[in-house]
Structure 1
Amino acid sequence: MTFGLVAGLLLTACGSESESEITADTSAPSEITSELAEKAQAEGEVVVYTNSPDELWNALVPKFQQAYPGIKISPVSLNGPELVQRLLSEQRSGARTADLVIDSSPSTFFGLKDALAERTSVFDSDLPEYANPWPGVYAISADPSIIVYNKAAFREDPPESLADVAATASGNRGKLTTYDIDSENGYAQMWTLTQHRDDAWALYEQLAPATRYEMNGGSMSQKLAQGEYVAGYFQSGLVRGLLKPNGLDSVLGWSYSADGTTVVPRYASVVKGAAHPNAAALLQDYLLSAPGQTVACSSGLTAVRDDVAPTCGDFSVKGVTDQVGEENVLMVPLDEAMRADKPAFSARLNEARGR
């Protein structure tokens, strides 16, 4: 997911709101063996191919290095299609490639399924079922979608559901926004809603004619703040930590969707043939540990482990679930049916848009 303005402000958000309210545990997890840590420190580096913004790594890496000072994290920012193409090309040619992949686009893992190493984590029993969909693939976070709205446009009744946004569509043609279907995260959320709600297509048929679809989350946030859009749906949950510390909370408000909050896992997997396999395994395990989860949530991600909810609060899946109800948390699955359904889904959405 490309965050643009959101990414540009994320570090400020993490440094202001998240870190002031969330105290990260920067100790080395006791469950990670000294043998793995020593091997990882001997390798000295882990190269990560990722679609996570650089600002997130700027917040996270110093905390990780308090636990493991001898290991350098080298993130390489790539969107899903670039990531898949580059990694597979490097593997075919025998060139050195990433050690670890961290990405929130399901299509990245569909494309790399045979390129990823199978392994188990010492933290398997501490994780919810959705966090380990394939052997060796683990969700280090699961970030909720939100509705973001311009407060001037909703002085009395701010939208608290997709149905609320849809009810405004006839009077706001061209003034609603969401991710384009060619954004893998956008499509994944749209598709997931249809798997859980019988009225999802009825909502899309209301929303689509009034919606302008964009690839860039930062562009949508900026246009919402300027009043070009009045509401955006399926927006990145990272915005939650952005508004107040940057003074945007006077202009923009946000809410979870009471009729279906989609949640997007951010998966990590070690790459087959990695040059630094132990460092990659250690970083993956660290981000699944209780201390690592507090580091992740204090850096703007949403923790998957329930036991860190008292520390992470709203930046934990349990914290979100407690607010919207378990029945309204719609986890985006790593399900290849999603990929198979895309052509028909796209055609139907274009029809709803009047194309």
Structure 2
Amino acid sequence: MIRRSVFLSVVSVALLSISSFADAAETTTRFDPRGTEFGNLVIASVTDLDFMQPLISAFQQSNPGVAVTYIEDTSNNLDASVSSACSDRVFYADLVISSSIAQQVRLVNGGCARVIGSPVLSSLPDWAQWRGELIGLTYEPAVMVYNKAAFEEDGPPRSRFDLIDLMRQSGKLNGRIATYDIEDSGVGYLFAFQDSTEASTWGRLIEGFGRNSVATFCCSSEVIDRVADGRAFIGYNVLGSYALSRAENDPRIGVILPSDYTLVLARAGYIPREARDATAARAFLELALSPQGRAILDGETRLLTPLSGPAALARLSDDDELTLRPIPLSPALLVSLDRAKRVRFLSQWRKSVTPPSP
């Protein structure tokens, strides 16, 4: 998951973490200070360290006396850890960053965060901040990834309508579609729930997934790996940051922003109520949205930002009428976490995508 960097002293320890959803490795990585240590910023996140390391490096250049401890986990495991810490009123991290924004809103709504109190909030669009306590740091589309060799003759589907037609009209995609396991992945569940409310194609889409024996995975990287080596031809609802970054260095895969609409996620951060170093956490958030931070996020990581993302995606797309639909950070997201709704939604998903027993 993590490539070791040679220019920093990094100590990584894999800790076994068990959640009710799945077993996964929580990884803790320490970046030693570049001067005399007088602080330690603890960041808990679901973001792959490779994508965050440039920001961490820039932060330590400006704050050489601050060590950074980076805790990386899956979205559901992270949510369980920070929820428990909030409930028990104990320290877990100084800054929490997650792509599972519905869970982030729930935590902030439950009083687990403190006011960020930074002028950087005034630069953000309204949809990318909530209550002065939760802010969107990135601008990441939900994309389709495809294996170029598999679609060399006819070209890949460009919309959900195209994908549904392809799943119905041929056996080409049977066993060759990959997407999130929405019971295991917080962001996968969020994208699926948003799909179900955004478009009339949802029922036909998951029916097609079931008929074509869709394979599901916890993480974007697993889906992209399968598409790259040809075990899958299409990866659906993959985080665009990971897909675009991978596609730049892997000629086997292509990336599509669906032409009917493209959901956009702002990976959100908040400072926990029990943070030990809220000042350093605030400085990190301010860096991420500063010109320097935006240059980093718009660069190799392709995480983009709410300030620069729309123009960047327009340049990347062949569609002159690209329909981008950012998911607002608001209490409306809590609907997807309602226990009864979640049970019904996951039941519908299982019935549709799980082949019946013989």
TM-score by length of 1: 0.78
Taking a change above 3 Å as real, the CA distance of residues 228 and 88 of structure 1, as seen in their structure-2 partners, is: closer
Match of 1:233 in 2: 236
Residue 342 of structure 1: how far off its partner (Å): 2.1
Taking a change above 3 Å as real, the CA distance of residues 317 and 74 of structure 1, as seen in their structure-2 partners, is: farther
Match of 1:166 in 2: 164
TM-score by length of 2: 0.78
Taking a change above 3 Å as real, the CA distance of residues 198 and 342 of structure 1, as seen in their structure-2 partners, is: same
- SS of 1:47's equivalent? strand
Match of 1:224 in 2: 227
- SS of 1:123's equivalent? helix
Match of 1:36 in 2: none
**AA in 1 matched with 2:326:** M
Task: Identify the structure with the greater strand proportion.
Answer: 2
Residue 131 of structure 1: how far off its partner (Å): 1.0
Residue 221 of structure 1: how far off its partner (Å): 2.0
| Greater relative CO, 1 or 2 (CA 8 Å, sep 6+) | 1
Match of 1:65 in 2: 60
Residue 176 of structure 1: how far off its partner (Å): 0.9
* Cα shift readout 1:38-71 (whole Å, capped 9, x = no counterpart): xxx9963311111111112323222233333333
Residue 181 of structure 1: how far off its partner (Å): 1.5
Match of 2:99 in 1: 104
Whether contact under 8 Å (1:51, 1:104) holds in the other structure is yes
Q: 1:242 aligns with which of 246, 252, 273?
A: 246
Match of 2:149 in 1: 152
Structure 1 residues not aligned, in runs of 5+:
12-40, 310-315
User: Residues of 2 paired with 1:108 and 1:129: CA distance?
Assistant: 19
| 1:19-98 to 2 correspondences below 5 Å | 44-91=39-86, 95-98=90-93
**AA in 2 matched with 1:268:** G
| 1:262-277 to 2 correspondences below 5 Å | 262-277=263-278
**AA in 2 matched with 1:281:** R
Taking a change above 3 Å as real, the CA distance of residues 43 and 118 of structure 1, as seen in their structure-2 partners, is: farther
Taking a change above 3 Å as real, the CA distance of residues 60 and 299 of structure 1, as seen in their structure-2 partners, is: farther
**AA in 2 matched with 1:318:** A
* Cα shift readout 1:116-152 (whole Å, capped 9, x = no counterpart): 1123320222111211034310011121122111122
Aligned residues, how many?
309
Residue 266 of structure 1: how far off its partner (Å): 0.5
User: Residues of 2 paired with 1:80 and 1:136: CA distance?
Assistant: 19
Match of 1:347 in 2: 347
Taking a change above 3 Å as real, the CA distance of residues 253 and 81 of structure 1, as seen in their structure-2 partners, is: closer
- SS of 2:43's equivalent? strand
User: Residues of 1 paired with 2:196 and 2:321: CA distance?
Assistant: 17
**AA in 1 matched with 2:231:** E
User: Residues of 1 paired with 2:121 and 2:271: CA distance?
Assistant: 15
Structure 2 residues not aligned, in runs of 5+:
6-35
Taking a change above 3 Å as real, the CA distance of residues 325 and 336 of structure 1, as seen in their structure-2 partners, is: farther
User: Residues of 1 paired with 2:129 and 2:56: CA distance?
Assistant: 24
Whether contact under 8 Å (1:145, 1:261) holds in the other structure is yes
Match of 1:337 in 2: 335
Spell out structure 1 runs of 4+ moving beyond 4 A: 91-95, 324-327
Residue 293 of structure 1: how far off its partner (Å): 1.8
Task: Identify the structure with the greater helix proportion.
Answer: 1
Residue 285 of structure 1: how far off its partner (Å): 1.9
